[in-house]
Each structure stands twice: as C-alpha cells, then as structure tokens.
Amino acid sequence: MKKLLFAGCVFFLLSSCKDSRRAQWDAMGKHHIITLYAADGKEIKSWESTGNVSNAENSDGWYFEDVETGKLVEISGTMIITVK
C-alpha cells in the first residue's frame, strides 16, 4: 500500500511539472504584458513585448523589446508577466 501511495505522489508531482513546462514552451514567441508595481502595490508602468521575455543571468532583472517603441527595456522589481 505504501508503494502505491508513493507512486501516486510521484506521478502527481511529475504531471504537474509537465503542465508548467508545457505552458512555458507554448508562451515562447508570443506577445507578453509586463506590469511593474511599486512597493505599495500600485501600477507604475505596463509594456507589451514583441515576443520573448528573458531574464539576465546572475541578475533579478528581465529584458524584452517593447512593441510601442521597438526599444530594449530592462527592468527589475515587483512585476507580473502574462501571455497576451
């Protein structure tokens, strides 16, 4: 019985990981909405990316190309990134 319970837990953990990985792959190349928030929870600014949003190694920052300006934007802080 313990083996069956253990196998069930392992299956559950692996299947939930697959869903998040699949969502990451599905989001590649799609436009994203990036919203930056202040410490008090108020929105500072929002952008739309032309495609991928990437994070820099050894940094807490993110970078992307802005649809409106065509320029590279690099930000860090409290933000929410969603697929459009």
* Integer Cα distance of 59 and 51 in angstroms: 21
Pair 38, 80: CB distance under 8 Å:
no
Dump pLDDT digits (tens) for 3-42: 666 655 555 555 555 666 776 666 777 899 999 999 999 9
* Integer Cα distance of 57 and 60 in angstroms: 8
pLDDT above 90: residue 1: no
The angle subtended at Cα 71 by Cα 45 and Cα 47, nearest 5°, is 25
Pair 80, 71: CB distance under 8 Å:
no
Say what percent of the chain tops pLDDT 90.
49
- 1-15, 33-47, 50-64, 65-79: lowest mean pLDDT where? 1-15
How high is the mean pLDDT of the chain? Answer: 82
